[in-house]
Structure 1
Amino acid sequence: MTIRPRAWAASFVARVTAFFCAAIGTAAAAFWPIYGDASFVLMAVVAILAGAALAILGARFRWSSPILLAATLLVYLLIGVPLAVPSQTRFGLVPTLEGFKDLILGTALGWKQLLTIALPVGSYQALLVPAFAVIFASSVVGLTIALRSKRGPLAVLVPVVVFVIGLLLGPREAAPAVVLALALFVVVLSWLSWERWYRRRESIRELSQPTAATSDATAGAERIGGLRTALSAVVILGLAIGVGGAAAVTADPARERTVLRDAIEQPFDPRDYPSPLSSLRKYHQAGVADSTMLTATGLPAGARIRLAALDTYDGVVFSVGTPQLASASGSFTRLPTAIQRDVPARGAEKTIEIDVVGYEGIWMPSVGLLSTVNFTGDSGNLRDSFFYNAPGNTAVVVGGLERGDAYSVDTVVIGDLAPETWSQLTPGTAVVPTATSVPDELTVALDGWVREAETPGERLAAMLSRLATEGYVSHGGPEEPFSRSGHGADRIEELLTAPRMIGDEEQYAVTAALMARAIGFPSRVVFGFAPDGDGVTRIVGSDVSAWIEVDTAQQGWVSIDPTPPAREIPDEQPEDPAQVARPQSPVPPPLVEQNTRPDQIPLDSEQEDEAGQDPLMAILLAAVAVLGVIALIVLIVLSPFLLIGAAKMRRRYLRQRAASSALRISGAWQEFEDMVLDYGYEPPASATRSEVAETVGGIQPLVLASVADRAVFAPETADDDEVRQVWLAVDELGAGLAHTRTRWQRVKAVMSLRSLGGYRVKGLFARERRLP
């Protein structure tokens, strides 16, 4: 590269540097939701200034590309550790060998770690390295292009790239994106306007003669050109800000944007592990029930230790998460910093120390709403293996906990709701996966229990009251009545239909959670321990328990224990005696004597019609034969048109019975597009759905196009009711198109081949359709 003509004037360098630093600083602000800490601000400012200084020195002394690259790498190593890995420095400035290692590894691998951790991350470990690398390198490259390239204005693309990278690495919520985009647009447009004015002024100076008259004319032309450029820039900026702001307010997207953390493979998938609820009976086995699992210091009286929150039921088990790992319960991330929580009215901030004794597993025991966790002992490996799910307040340690592990948690402990307040609750707005294969007996029993209740809270209280009064607890031990383990649909059906309702926390929690959902409360099952004690508490295997949490409009998720109180189980009542059937008579019934007269004519014999054929019948048969011939000729003539109609009916049939709801909605839109073509409309080539709708005109086609786009491209899955509504809308639009046409035009549309022009005959016999 060479320095741009007349570029090395102090005013030019200062202004270009100012514009570039403003642009790259605005773009770097897109990283703020990722870090949310003052360390990021310091890192970004120093990285931009250091990169700008290198670019200016390279332009001033005409460094070649290898020299500039070597200088950039040297400065990157010198300032990278104090800025991006501050925990690996001495006295906050001197890098260590471990710091250089983290800087180099973070440059290559830090981006993936950044996408699999809860935000904001602050200065946790070496996660500042990706942002530092992007900002520093972009500052050097961008300002070098602006000062030394003949196409200097192309440098505005560098801040735009930094801005996009920040958004892609950031969270799904796009709160500051619109404001930052407008601010970056203002800076970039101001920079380009100034560049245009500067090049115009330089061109005028080169063309002008060095006389006094021409100098005055040149100065006047420069002033007029500069004023015109400034006014144009102000007008364009005003229009851009006004239109962009109005569009952002009126057309705010209804869903979160798609970012890279949606596509990255999650480091922990709870579906790879069995449901912890299925292991409840294991803790009641001999040798385990009295064994110490954990010791907890500072545990309040009545507080429960939670292991896992389960919200997905498939008729076999209650599990964590769904096949879509982005779901609230299935997405686990690392927890680098404390979660800032508002202490609920019923909650208290506590610090609880937990020591692992006999417990083993990946599900980490915790209490309440976790804020921070501090591991002791082998804290490095445990910290790196720790993942947390904030919506479910569930923590895991990949690789599992074992004897000797210890940690402390800062948490907000919330007590259970008093039973007398249950009837005052109303359902919340949390979203949980839809339960499948729920036994019909559960709905029948619930209907009988809550028939007289009016509000959802009263129904919830009535349901829990019936479980408490009619249920008995048995873990199936040697001295207990038989109680089968498991919580599949067959076991829940058995619990509700047996003469005696006998089960344990596993069955009662699942039954109560499913009934709460039927009432309208979002619910989930929580598996953990429910010890009795205060202060230093020894948790044994028999303290294992399961309870439910329901989401309420008043207090969010609240814990409810649906297990009946322990009491003596009555003996099973004998079944009603069966009615004794009368013995059958040993005398066989008399045989029915059949009439076998020799002169009787068999029913299947053929008899000749002695009477002659009726003339009227002959005429009718002849007429039917003639009409049949005529109908055959007409059918042959009309067969092409009938085939067209049959092809369209078959096409509609395939679209309505596609494999998924998205395919059925897409098929409904394709049906509408075919109607548009058959009625003579001329959409543009390769038209989008919105363009096709605009060709037809009206609001309803635009609405249908929007619904179809959302069904095809949105991550949510449309339900059957939405599919049915879309097909009804298509039929209404078709009726509207036909209403404005004559009868002959309607017939021509039905027989039109336009919509079949790109449709393969082989596709008419396919079993399923694919999205185009």
Structure 2
Amino acid sequence: MNRMRVRPAVVTMLFSLAATALAAWSFWGVYQSAAFVVMLGGTLLLGGAIAVLGAVFRWPSIVIALLVVVVFLGAGVQLAVPGQASTGGLLPTWPGFVDLVQATWLSWKQLVTISLPVGSYQALLVPAFILTLLSIVVSASIGLRARHGELGAIPPMVLLLAGVLLGSATAPVPLWLSLTLLAVLLAWTMWLRWQRRSEAIRSLAEQSGMAVESPRERRFVGARTVAGAAVILVVAGVAGTAASVLLPAHNDRQVVRTAVEQPFDPRAYPSPLSGFRAYLEPAKAEEPMLTVRGIPADRRIRIATLDTYDGVTYSVGTDDVTSASGSFTRMPYRLDQPRAGGTAYRLDVTVRGYTGPWVPGSGQLEQVTFAGSDASDLTDSFFYNDVTGTAAVTRGLRAGDSYTLDTVVKPQFTGDQLAKTTPGSAEVPKPTVVPDELQQTLQKYTAGVTGTGARLAAALKGLAENGYISHGIAPDEPPSRSGHGADRITELLTDIPMLGDQEQYAVTAALMARQLGFPARVVIGFVAPEVTAAGQSATLTGSDVSAWIEVQTRQSGWVTVDPTPPVRPVPPKKPDQPTQISRPQTNVQPPVDDTPTQREEPPQAQVDTSDQQPPNPVLDTILGVLVIVGWVLLVLAVLAAPFLAVIGAKWRRRTLRRSAPTALERISGGWREFADAALDHGYDPPPAATRREMATTIGGSRAAALAGVADRAVFSPTAPSPAEADSVWRAVDDLRHALAKRETRWKRFVAAISLRSLGYRGWGTNRKKGRP
């Protein structure tokens, strides 16, 4: 390359590298690690080197493709699978090479079925590595070698789109990133057009031996081009911001990971709460289930969190209800959990008699590490739901498996703490069945209590005071039926004394919390025995099984609450107190009449049905139509803004030309207006064409006559009169209408919004040289 070609090549490479780097940064939300930054920098350098070498030596595309494959295989392990690189990450290993090749087609689905961010976990950097390498090679090669280098902007745009599609369903690509990439691509396009224009003018000047364009005109054209690009950026930024503010998305973002079927479906397994009593059977009650070291302060080890109640079972999602707790994804190397209000723990768990897909743990998981001969299989089949903190392995846990959990555990809430809270805003599936007896019992427990937190604390206190524990298994225990369906909850609340175990009390407490407005869910797990020294291990048996609830508060988020009544002797059931028969008699007595009237004042139903005017269907219909029309007009205005900006710029240009201060400038401006209209209609004049050459390109005697009038006005020693300028503009209007009549409506619209005349300056007035 000579000196004149080195500078454009350098600028082209800088634009291509900047655009590709910005587009690839859309993957930051997926990885969020230093390994991604290293991969991005190394890939840009290697891909840019391939493009430069191909441009210098004019290699064909097949050679470029082979070089891309060589770089992928030679540097892929170091950049995309850094965990398998040796010698400080400088040399690949055979296992890393195998992972790299397999990840070429396997890592794509793995990437969209795993929790974010993934860091450099396994070979999940390979998709970003492949896309970035292809983007920089194709973009830079087009910019350096193609006739229309603007096409080099397409690969970065495709890369940005890939980052959006493969990214998070909740965190969109930042607006600043999209606008910055748009600015870089616009600047690149303008610079390429400026280069071609400068080369054409330089070539014309060398052929004619005279200056074709003055420095002032060159600066004017450059300033106008930059101003036009700035207007486009401002319109795009304002439109994007307005759309995000005025038209917020009410649904989750639809990306690839939301459309891909997750490989672990918790609804394929029975609810773990249904097997609660099985842990208490004599065969399992004393059988060791887990050995745990590093037990948290609340001594609770979760099996699973359940948030969907259909009147039969409490489960993790259902076929009819979409639940956030039902979405399990593969977990990468680590999750960053907020430590606010929580304590970090490390649990070492050894599985003994426990079996099943659910992985016992505690709090919000940060990292899991499996040990033993099956560690690799367990790691590959591990799935996690960060909403509920529930983990599972599709392979299933068996005796002898062991793992280490790094978690963040919040302390358990007491009744006094709960009384000072208010409900949170988490979305939890609404129970499809709520027993009537639960509503009545809740009103009884909360009568005269104000405040949602205080009412929930009063309801839990009522359960603790009136409830008794019985599993109904041991011979000396009173009969107590298992299950937690609506009929069993009704039986629990109507029997005297109230008799059940953690299974029924946790479901009852969760339903009461839901009725009071608190998001609530049930947790089944184990309560470990107290340990005498820090770091001491404890063995959990089947009799340690328990169930509790979690409620979300606005002040502290999700907190653990234990609604289980204390263990105490169960009083004998009195056969002479049938509750269903005595209820009508108590309603007649005045003391009992007072209580229902007091209870009926605070119910939610009366609050929700406050006195309101009956709706007017006609007015509601009119308002609905007006709202729809308003939004439609707003959307149309946003979409039409760029086109209206182009049309407005052309109208202003035509007005300035028509109202120029002198007749000569008005005639010259009239010719330029006609030539610009012809250019917008698709006519392509020769570079730096004269007026007569331009008229010949368009065709027709009237165009030639207008060119002659403009030439006479420019070259004549006598200044033209205002009447001649008016005559020229009337001819220009007639010729513009004639050009429009030749085209269809669609082509006339395309000509009206065309940008060709706003950037083209193949003709310009140069009185000294006599060139148009």
Shared fold per TM-score greater than 0.5: yes
How far has the Cα of 1:383 moved from its partner? Answer: 1.2
Distance 1:473 1:422 in 2: 23
The answer to whether the Cα contact below 8 Å between 1:262 and 1:326 also exists between their aligned partners in 2 is: no
SS in structure 1 of the partner of residue 325 of structure 2: coil
Distance 1:521 1:95 in 2: 54
Which residue of the other structure, out of 377, 396, 409, is the alignment partner of 1:400?
A: 396
Distance 1:296 1:576 in 2: 47
How far has the Cα of 1:545 moved from its partner? Answer: 0.4
CA deviations 1:470-493 (Å, max 9, x no partner) are: 112111113311111111111111
The answer to whether the Cα contact below 8 Å between 1:174 and 1:256 also exists between their aligned partners in 2 is: no
CA deviations 1:506-557 (Å, max 9, x no partner) are: 1111111101111111110000001222231110000000011111122111
5+ long unaligned stretches in structure 1: 579-670, 677-689, 708-772
The match for 2:300 is 304
Matched, 1:318 2:319: no
CA deviations 1:390-437 (Å, max 9, x no partner) are: 110111111111111111112223332223333222211111001012
- TM-score norm. by structure 2 comes to 0.72
Amino acid at match of 1:161: V
SS in structure 2 of the partner of residue 198 of structure 1: helix
Which residue of the other structure, out of 279, 285, 307, is the alignment partner of 1:283?
A: 279
The answer to whether the Cα contact below 8 Å between 1:197 and 1:229 also exists between their aligned partners in 2 is: no
Matched, 1:566 2:561: no
Distance 1:51 1:71, change over 3 A: same
Matched, 1:15 2:11: yes
Amino acid at match of 1:428: G
5+ long unaligned stretches in structure 2: 580-616, 636-772
Distance 1:704 1:490 in 2: 51
How far has the Cα of 1:231 moved from its partner? Answer: 4.4
Distance 2:3 2:29 in 1: 37
Amino acid at match of 2:325: S
Q: Which moved more, 1:219-228 or 1:349-358?
A: 219-228
Distance 1:197 1:442, change over 3 A: same
Distance 1:63 1:551 in 2: 63
The match for 2:476 is 479
Matched, 1:69 2:62: no
Amino acid at match of 2:363: G
The match for 1:743 is none
Distance 2:104 2:577 in 1: 77
Distance 1:12 1:520 in 2: 65
The match for 2:353 is 358
SS in structure 2 of the partner of residue 479 of structure 1: coil
Distance 2:124 2:27 in 1: 12
Distance 1:525 1:174, change over 3 A: closer
SS in structure 1 of the partner of residue 462 of structure 2: helix
How far has the Cα of 1:242 moved from its partner? Answer: 5.2
The RMSD of aligned alpha carbons is: 2.8
Distance 1:326 1:97 in 2: 44
The answer to whether the Cα contact below 8 Å between 1:333 and 1:389 also exists between their aligned partners in 2 is: yes
Q: Which moved more, 1:557-566 or 1:227-236?
A: 227-236
The answer to whether the Cα contact below 8 Å between 2:179 and 2:233 also exists between their aligned partners in 1 is: no
Q: Which moved more, 1:148-157 or 1:568-577?
A: 568-577
Which residue of the other structure, out of 367, 370, 373, is the alignment partner of 1:375?
A: 370
Q: Which moved more, 1:277-286 or 1:492-501?
A: 492-501
The match for 1:509 is 506
Distance 1:12 1:269, change over 3 A: same
Which residue of the other structure, out of 391, 409, 416, is the alignment partner of 2:412?
A: 416
Distance 1:704 1:484, change over 3 A: farther
CA deviations 1:143-199 (Å, max 9, x no partner) are: 112222223211111110000100111112345431111001100110111111111
Distance 1:421 1:232 in 2: 61
Distance 1:407 1:19, change over 3 A: same
SS in structure 1 of the partner of residue 285 of structure 2: coil
Report the identity percentage: 47
The match for 2:344 is 349
Distance 1:326 1:96, change over 3 A: farther
Amino acid at match of 2:164: L
The match for 2:695 is none
Distance 1:447 1:200, change over 3 A: same
Distance 2:340 2:31 in 1: 26
Distance 1:19 1:517 in 2: 56
Distance 1:301 1:209 in 2: 86
1:587-626, aligned counterparts within 5 Å?
none
Amino acid at match of 2:327: S
1:633-648, aligned counterparts within 5 Å?
none
Distance 1:456 1:576, change over 3 A: closer
Distance 2:16 2:52 in 1: 12
CA deviations 1:330-386 (Å, max 9, x no partner) are: 1111221332233243x3222121111110011111022222212111321111111
1:723-762, aligned counterparts within 5 Å?
none
- TM-score norm. by structure 1 comes to 0.72
SS in structure 2 of the partner of residue 549 of structure 1: strand
Distance 1:302 1:267 in 2: 33
The match for 1:442 is 438
Aligned pair count reads 589
How far has the Cα of 1:278 moved from its partner? Answer: 0.5
CA deviations 1:37-66 (Å, max 9, x no partner) are: 111111111111211111111121111222
Matched, 1:192 2:120: no
SS in structure 1 of the partner of residue 350 of structure 2: strand
Distance 1:445 1:228, change over 3 A: closer
CA deviations 1:271-324 (Å, max 9, x no partner) are: 110000000100111120001001111214541000111000001100012448
How far has the Cα of 1:207 moved from its partner? Answer: 3.2
Matched, 1:201 2:210: no
How far has the Cα of 1:257 moved from its partner? Answer: 2.3
SS in structure 1 of the partner of residue 277 of structure 2: helix
Matched, 1:35 2:36: no
Distance 1:301 1:245, change over 3 A: closer
The match for 1:50 is 46
Q: Which moved more, 1:336-345 or 1:351-360?
A: 336-345
Distance 2:157 2:94 in 1: 35
Amino acid at match of 1:575: D
Distance 1:414 1:149 in 2: 60
Distance 1:495 1:370, change over 3 A: same
1:203-282, aligned counterparts within 5 Å?
203-210=200-207, 212=209, 214-215=210-211, 217=213, 225-241=221-237, 244-245=240-241, 248=244, 251-282=247-278
The match for 1:492 is 489
